[in-house]
Homo-oligomer: A and B are copies of this chain.
Amino acid sequence: MIEGKNFIGATYSKKGDSFLQASNPKTNKLLPEKFYITTSQEIEQAFKKAGSAFDQYKNLSGAKKADFLEAIAEEILNLGDELIQRAVAESGLPEGRFQGERGRTVNQIKMFAGLLRDGSWVDARIDRAQPDREPLPKADIRNMLFPLGPVVVFGASNFPLAFSTAGGDTASALAAGCPVIVKSHESHPGTNELVSRAILKAAERTGMPDGVFSSLNGKADVGEKLVKHPSAKAVGFTGSFAAGTAIFKNAAARDEPIPVYAEMGSVNPVFLLDEKLSSGAESIAETYAGSVTLGKGQFCTNPGLLIGIESDNLNTFAKNLGEKLAEYTPDCMLNEGVAKNYRAQRKEILSQDGVEVITSPADEPGLTGAASLAAVKASVFLENDELQEEVFGPFTIVVKCKDSSEMEKVAKKLNGQLTITFMGTEKELIAHAPLINIGREKAGRVIFNNAPTGVEVCPSMQHGGPFPATTDSKFTSVGTGAIRRFARPIAFQDCPEELLPDELKDSNPLGIYRLVDGEFEN
């Protein structure tokens, strides 16, 4: 049974009087459970517990932390169908989607457990002493990554499992050795409660300190208090540009500024080269119709700009894409705000001078969002910054360039992106190396001959990109690299062996990769 209380570590708490309720976007009706909004006192308690937990948790071995993560994965699976049904009710997304998303969530938690068992992620570096060096002796210096401290994680509406309570931010922060305080997303507080219980059960089972995880309900002002709390040391966020930049500014204005890893979405431009189109405009249109509407257009990697050179092939592609998008049955979006914003943002774009509507928005009953396609000349696009603002939903724009040179101008004009895609035959991709070179500067991931949707969870993934895609292009929120967001190097100079962490001891008891006197060893 869902209780609607907050979790201050292992303790249920309900100090507030006001509450929020989730809605079912299918029916646009409130779900019955009340979730009590966190009070300032409860926030204080959560940070107090997180601080104490940090003192112990940071010193646990990688293996112990891996036990905890693996237990979380198990306990999430143990929630069984209750979790799936609640996530469906709170998001309007289909059951199959959550079976997939749960698998991804569990796998990425296990991936971090594997990273901890391997142990090499700490980037250990050892430069041994040279007492006889002239003119000055060289000290023994050893360096590795250590956790930053308590991390605030915001749940994301579009991934109630994989980017929320036990999503990539939480998993990577816990793996780094940081306690986590989750601000649950208002759209899926019930899903959050179930997952939070799984995490706390895992914490109890594996003997983790109380306070290693807390989960708090509330609106934007609760989030703001969490970000401004002096004990918060970093923030993970996935969501809108407006919310992400507000968090970033609050964090930068603190007495002690803290890092904010906000992934704020992207229009994921796609460059369609002509020879490739000529070999199969229709099948590419089919791929892209699927990618534009995947997750009902509510992924951060849905393609929102399709850029090609004016030609019969491009026209065929646009026509086919338009027809396929017209066949898409409008379905409910994540919540009322998302549906309203989608319609308003799309309307705004469609009302711009020079924008041609290819697939008109169909009837959109309730909170549904119809797939829509527009087209614009590159010359118009180049003069109107609004045309590259993200429309969160199943909407995309074909940008028609006169020639390669105009295509390069469009590439130069692009804002920072999570992804940029090039569809071309091998020969024409090589001929377009300068275009790809420009595009590379704009994105975190450069994709060839596939749609940008679909983010593999692996060590080489980069899910991030230049602002405004994220607030810190140097880090990824997906893949093993995500752990580095929550850790900093500390060097030990002439430290007695007994006081060194195992990772830095002479004997390398964990058998990890280390850079010793400039050479990799393990």
Q: Look across to chain B and name the residue whose beta carbon is closest to the beta carbon of A138.
A: B456
Q: Is the CB of A459 within 8 A of B515?
A: yes
Instruction: Tell me if A490 is interfacial: C-beta within 8 Å of chain B.
Output: yes
Instruction: Tell me if A404 is interfacial: C-beta within 8 Å of chain B.
Output: no
Q: Mark A487-508, 1 if CB is under 8 A from B, else 0.
A: 1111111111011000000000
Q: Is the CB of B252 within 8 A of A472?
A: no
CB contacts (< 8 Å) of A252 on chain B: these are 248-249, 252-253, 257
Task: Tell which of B436, B450, B493, B498 touches A450, judged by Cβ atoms closer than 8 Å.
Answer: B493
Q: Is the CB of B488 within 8 A of A474?
A: yes
Q: Look across to chain B and name the residue whose beta carbon is closest to the beta carbon of A497.
A: B426
CB contacts (< 8 Å) of A447 on chain B: these are 493-494
Q: Look across to chain B and name the residue whose beta carbon is closest to the beta carbon of A498.
A: B430
Smallest distance from the beta carbon of A219 to chain B beta carbons, Å?
25
Instruction: Tell me if A462 is interfacial: C-beta within 8 Å of chain B.
Output: yes
Instruction: Tell me if A440 is interfacial: C-beta within 8 Å of chain B.
Output: yes
CB contacts (< 8 Å) of A459 on chain B: these are 125, 127, 143, 515, 518
Q: Is the CB of A474 within 8 A of B444?
A: no
Instruction: Tell me if A461 is interfacial: C-beta within 8 Å of chain B.
Output: yes
Given the interface contacts A441-B149, A488-B474, A499-B430, does A448 sit within 8 Å of B259 by beta carbon? no
Smallest distance from the beta carbon of A168 to chain B beta carbons, Å?
15
Q: Look across to chain B and name the residue whose beta carbon is closest to the beta carbon of A149.
A: B441
CB contacts (< 8 Å) of A487 on chain B: these are 474
Smallest distance from the beta carbon of A487 to chain B beta carbons, Å?
7
Smallest distance from the beta carbon of A454 to chain B beta carbons, Å?
7
Instruction: Tell me if A443 is interfacial: C-beta within 8 Å of chain B.
Output: yes
Instruction: Tell me if A88 is interfacial: C-beta within 8 Å of chain B.
Output: no
Given the interface contacts A252-B248, A429-B496, A440-B146, does A474 sit within 8 Å of B259 by beta carbon? yes
Instruction: Tell me if A359 is interfacial: C-beta within 8 Å of chain B.
Output: no
Q: What's the Cα separation between A476 and B144 when bound, in Å?
A: 12
CB contacts (< 8 Å) of A440 on chain B: these are 146, 490
Given the interface contacts A493-B447, A513-B520, does A460 sit within 8 Å of B257 by beta carbon? no
Task: Tell which of B446, B460, B467, B515 touches A127, judged by Cβ atoms closer than 8 Å.
Answer: B460
Instruction: Tell me if A350 is interfacial: C-beta within 8 Å of chain B.
Output: no
Instruction: Tell me if A215 is interfacial: C-beta within 8 Å of chain B.
Output: no
Smallest distance from the beta carbon of A502 to chain B beta carbons, Å?
14
Q: Look across to chain B and name the residue whose beta carbon is closest to the beta carbon of A420.
A: B490
Instruction: Tell me if A437 is interfacial: C-beta within 8 Å of chain B.
Output: yes
Smallest distance from the beta carbon of A439 to chain B beta carbons, Å?
10
Q: Mark A442-466, 1 if CB is under 8 A from B, else 0.
A: 0111111110001010111110101
Q: Is the CB of A136 within 8 A of B461?
A: no
Q: What's the Cα separation between A200 and B237 when bound, in Å?
A: 43
Q: What's the Cα separation between A447 and B430 when bound, in Å?
A: 53
Smallest distance from the beta carbon of A434 to chain B beta carbons, Å?
9
Instruction: Tell me if A141 is interfacial: C-beta within 8 Å of chain B.
Output: yes
CB contacts (< 8 Å) of A471 on chain B: these are 257
Instruction: Tell me if A188 is interfacial: C-beta within 8 Å of chain B.
Output: no
Smallest distance from the beta carbon of A451 to chain B beta carbons, Å?
11
CB contacts (< 8 Å) of A256 on chain B: these are 416, 466-468
Q: Mark A245-261, 1 if CB is under 8 A from B, else 0.
A: 00011001100110100
Q: Is the CB of A494 within 8 A of B460?
A: no
Q: Mark A112-144, 1 if CB is under 8 A from B, else 0.
A: 000000001000011100000000101101110
Task: Tell which of B433, B445, B494, B498 touches A493, judged by Cβ atoms closer than 8 Å.
Answer: B445
Smallest distance from the beta carbon of A59 to chain B beta carbons, Å?
7
Smallest distance from the beta carbon of A405 to chain B beta carbons, Å?
16
Q: What's the Cα separation between A481 and B441 when bound, in Å?
A: 23
Given the interface contacts A490-B443, A499-B433, does A139 sit within 8 Å of B450 by beta carbon? yes
CB contacts (< 8 Å) of A481 on chain B: these are 125, 143, 489
Task: Tell which of B141, B146, B436 touches A460, judged by Cβ atoms closer than 8 Å.
Answer: B141
Q: Is the CB of B446 within 8 A of A491?
A: yes
Q: Is the CB of A494 within 8 A of B450?
A: yes
Q: Mark A283-297, 1 if CB is under 8 A from B, else 0.
A: 000000000000000
A-B contacts, 7 listed (Cβ < 8 Å): A139-B450, A248-B257, A252-B252, A444-B489, A448-B499, A459-B518, A460-B515
Give the 5 A-B CB pairs with smallest separation, nearest first. Answer: A462-B491, A252-B252, A125-B460, A143-B460, A141-B460
Besides A446-B493, A448-B493, A448-B496, 14 more A-B contacts (Cβ < 8 Å) are A136-B454, A141-B458, A252-B252, A252-B253, A426-B498, A429-B496, A430-B498, A430-B499, A446-B491, A447-B493, A448-B494, A449-B494, A460-B515, A462-B489
